[in-house]
Structure 1
Amino acid sequence: MIYVTKLNGKEFQLNAAFIEQVEAFPDTTITLLNGKKFIVKEDEKTVRMLITEYYQQIQVLRLIAEVEAAENE
């Protein structure tokens, strides 16, 4: 889960695994796999960093690297 802030200042948790797209319109808009959209205060770069940190915490990025390494053997 990542913590982001709505435009009204309320912080909430969002499951990063369900994020399909992050855009700036200029407000940062997060689109989930189900089509639901959230507009947040954080900029696009910050949201990408939060997502990356989340995947590192749950070690998804390491697992992907291990699978790719095994496929190249």
Structure 2
Amino acid sequence: MIQLTSLKGDAFYLNEILIYRIDQIPDTMITLTDGNKLRVSETPDVVVEKIRDYQKSIGAIFRVIRGEQAP
């Protein structure tokens, strides 16, 4: 899950698998796979960076579980 910030300034966590698309209109609008929409303070680039960082961390956990060496 990634931590995001609502426009009111409240932090929350979102399961990144539920993201369908991210638009900037002018706020960042995240459309979920079920059609719900969320507006967040982060820019689309920051949201994508958070998703990549989270997915990298999950990959690292699986490598440790399998006993593989880190690249």
Smaller-chain TM-score range? 0.7 to 0.9
Partner of 1:34: 34
Q: Provide the secondary structure at the position in 2 that maps to 1:58.
A: helix
Give the total of aligned pairs: 59
Unpaired runs of 5+ in structure 2?
A: 60-71
Measure the CA separation in 2 of the matches of 1:25 and 1:34. Answer: 20
What is the rounded CA distance, in whole Å, between the counterparts of 2:30 and 2:15 in structure 1? 11
TM-score (norm 2): 0.79
- Taking only aligned residues, the RMSD between alpha carbons, in angstroms, comes to 0.7
Structure 1 unmatched runs, 5+ = 60-73
SS in structure 2 of the partner of residue 39 of structure 1: strand
Normalised to the residue count of structure 1, the TM-score between the two structures is: 0.77
How big is each residue's C-alpha offset from its partner over 1:13-72, in whole Å with a ceiling of 9 and x where there is no partner?
A: 00001111011001001111111110000011100100111111112xxxxxxxxxxxxx
